[in-house]
Structure formats: C-alpha cells, structure tokens
Structure 1
C-alpha cells in the first residue's frame, strides 16, 4: 500500500469541503479492493459474511466502537450471517479520505471472516 490507511486517523470534515475527485476515489479504492464504489462515486460498501447472527452482531459492535473512536459513522445493516457497511461523508455528499480510512480499519477487524 502506498498510504497505510489503517494507521491514519479520521479528521473532522467541514461542510464546503469538496468530495474526492474520481481519480482520488480510484486511488483510495485500490487500497481497499473488497469495497465497492457506487456508480456516482459518492459511497463505498462491503458485505461481510458470518456463520450466524451472533457473529454478525459482534462485528457490528466492533465497527461501532471504531466509528465512535474516529468520529465517523457508517450506515450498517445486518441480519443472520451478514453485515453490510456503507460509508460516505454526508456533510459533503460524497467520499472523503475518512471513508477509506474507516474501510481499512474495518477490514482489519474483519479478520478471517469470509467476505461477499
């Protein structure tokens, strides 16, 4: 990795900050290759698979701890055997480096769980 995103810390983002350019999104997306960039490059998402509901719930709890530490909160849906995490910076209606930092940190805690 060129930038070790997982070692970075999210920084407060102010309204008026422009979202990342398509080129910057492509650069960061290479560093978290299991995350999908939506068509207009305003969100990234990844679905994680688990053996059961308890595994998905425990993962969501770990993600929420990271979100609180970083002050950057993803949208999460989960159920039996899965959790889908979606990241975007709502204040700028697009993607910011923080979204990719969170993605890298979430990938670290996913451990050996198989991903969709």
Structure 2
C-alpha cells in the first residue's frame, strides 16, 4: 500500500511540475528568420535535390527487394516532391518546431 501511495504521489508531483514548463507557456515565440543569399539558396537547393534523389533510390531498392509495392513507392515519391516544393517556396528555411505541449489541453 505504501508503494502504491508513493507512486501516486510521485506521478502527481511530476504532472504538477510539467504544468509550469516554460515551453508550454511560450506559444507565440517567433525566432528570427535568416535571409539567405541567392548563392546560399542555390547551395541548399542542390543539397535538398541530392537528398531527394537518395530517398528515391532507397525507396526504389525497397520496391526491388519486395518490401514495398510500386503504388506505395509512388505515394512516397509524391510526398517527397511536395515536401521539396514546400521547402523551395519557403526559401529553404528550417520549419518551426511545434512543441506537443501546446496541443495537450485544448
């Protein structure tokens, strides 16, 4: 019985400590965005295209080895292309991190 009470008390204490976490309160923080030069954008685009090609090669191998169907691979390729276009539209900025804590109690 003492162990059960100790576990309950510890769980409640941890829950109450996490309610006052600064990340949970700071939901409107906007870090400053870096403005890339055209040369930097070109270099980032080249690296992103290389990553995209490597992902496509990897998925192709999974299809070749029978781990994925061609339809699944096509969906993945489509998703990769959409992600690349989104990155390109946003000038290859790093996406903002959305902490999970802000979705907990809505």
TM-score by length of 1: 0.26
Q: Give the strand-richer structure, 1 or 2.
A: 1
Higher helix fraction: Structure 1 or Structure 2?
2
TM-score by length of 2: 0.28
Asked which structure has the greater CA Rg, the reply is 2
